[in-house]
Structure 1
Amino acid sequence: MRPRRRATGTAYAEPVTRDWYAWHDDYDQPGSPLSRRLTEVRLRIGEALDQAPPGPLRAVSLCAGQGRDLIPALATHRRRDDVTARLVELDPRNAEFARAAAAEAGLSAVEVVVGDASLTDHYADLAPAHLVLVCGIFGNIADADIRATVRHCAALCATGGTVFWTRHRREPDLVPAICDWFAEEGFRPVAVSSPADGVGVGVHRFTGTPRPLELGATMFQFVGYDRLTHH
């Protein structure tokens, strides 16, 4: 049987009931975990842009949702016109939201693609990129797929580039292991939120040499937090 498709981002093995468009409403609730996570990610994107080398920059966002992290961060940054970005999102409603936000901000070099974000082919012409966003993924896929995605980040990310990722810090807390996996692939930590922060945001900079991006590969399968914790 063909796998069902998750509403945001990638292949899903079973039917999906969550409305991933409505899920974004929590971003608008002051003090909510998603709102606090979003603020942190935007801050870190701005810092990475501040430290990026002069000249053209490339950015990719996997399971980009409505683009609420990257698009506003770019819109107000002095390097905004240096960045060519691709956001990949399966839910066409979320993709249209992101597309409209980019147009309203005048970010003509931001492309929003409706498609399966787990497929490496979507990023072939922009990899290695200076900014790689894998936010909202690591809390919803199996541990082995997290490890595989970190490995692919060493092909997606340029030397000196930055990966941004998120993961809840509830038990079992996998964040220390994820940091170790990034280290094994040539990344060094820039910022990793503590368990006391209540939200998990990780930022790692790539110090190695990018390996060739494997074309035709599927980096992960989205399972969903509820299903993962149930099993």
Structure 2
Amino acid sequence: MDWHAWHDAYTSPDSALTARLRTVTERIRAALDAAPPGPFRVVSVCAGQGLDLLGALADHPRRADVSARLVELDPRNTAAAREAAAALGLHDIEVVTGDASLTDSYAGAVPARLVLLVGVFGNITAADIERTTGFLDGLCAPGGSVIWTRNRREPDLFPRVCDWLEQRGFERTWTSAPEIRQGVGVHHFTGEPRELPTGERMFTFVGYDVLSGR
């Protein structure tokens, strides 16, 4: 899979990915609107070109409060994200070309007020989705939120992801309607935080094309 060319789908206003992007952007803005005054730290896992966060911040009145680390493996995508952040004057957006599955990629950037897992759970196995949810209490600050996505194709794992998060101290605050193919969820962290362990792999990125047997 060419994950740089994959972003071309966002140029179509009617694509399912574009609809998902709009929803995620709205949820990011809502999280920022609801946050108390002061710094607002974000981490984005498998960030791609950062279209969701950068789109949300482009004209947001609290954009100056936000610092972020975007972790993405494809250097063409990270180059695009850096260019877009610079064009918007967002100087506290750190874009890292690296393996987003490794806990060490987030050293010094967590706990975060907002954790973005957009386009991750549809590209890893169910076992690794469950495993990844077990690291979120080290990525997310108390009172923070996780915005995540998972397609609703059969077998529909979306309800199970909700269950795994809720078992780990994350309260469901918003989910997209079940009939929307590209599902989006928002969970608020009410549990006990822990230090993110070092040297751990949270998941193995397989790719939806491989998982679906294409």
Bin the TM-score by the shorter chain: over 0.9
Contact 1:158 1:209 in 2 (8 A): no
- Please list the CA deviations of residues 139-193 of structure 1 after superposition, one character each: whole Å capped at 9, or x if unmatched: 1101111011111111100111110111100110000000000001100111111
Moved over 2 A (4+): none
Pair 1:97 & 2:77 matched: no
Distance 1:229 1:93 in 2: 25
Question: Unaligned regions of 5+ residues in structure 1, if any?
Answer: 1-17
Letter in 1 for 2:18: S
2:210 is matched with 227
- Please list the CA deviations of residues 117-147 of structure 1 after superposition, one character each: whole Å capped at 9, or x if unmatched: 1111121212110010011010110111101
Pair 1:44 & 2:36 matched: no
Aligned CA RMSD, in angstroms, stands at 1.1
Instruction: Give the superposition deviation at 1:195.
Output: 2.4
Pair 1:162 & 2:160 matched: no
Distance 1:176 1:23 in 2: 27
Instruction: Give the superposition deviation at 1:75.
Output: 2.0
How many pairs were matched up?
214
2:99 is matched with 116
Question: Unaligned regions of 5+ residues in structure 2, if any?
Answer: none
Contact 1:187 1:206 in 2 (8 A): yes
Distance 2:213 2:49 in 1: 27
Choose from 163, 170, 175 the match for 1:192: 175
Letter in 1 for 2:5: A
3-state SS in 2 of match to 1:170? coil
Pair 1:29 & 2:6 matched: no
1:60 is matched with 43
Bigger drift between 31-40 and 147-156 goes to 147-156
- Please list the CA deviations of residues 176-225 of structure 1 after superposition, one character each: whole Å capped at 9, or x if unmatched: 00000000110011111122122211111101121110111110001111
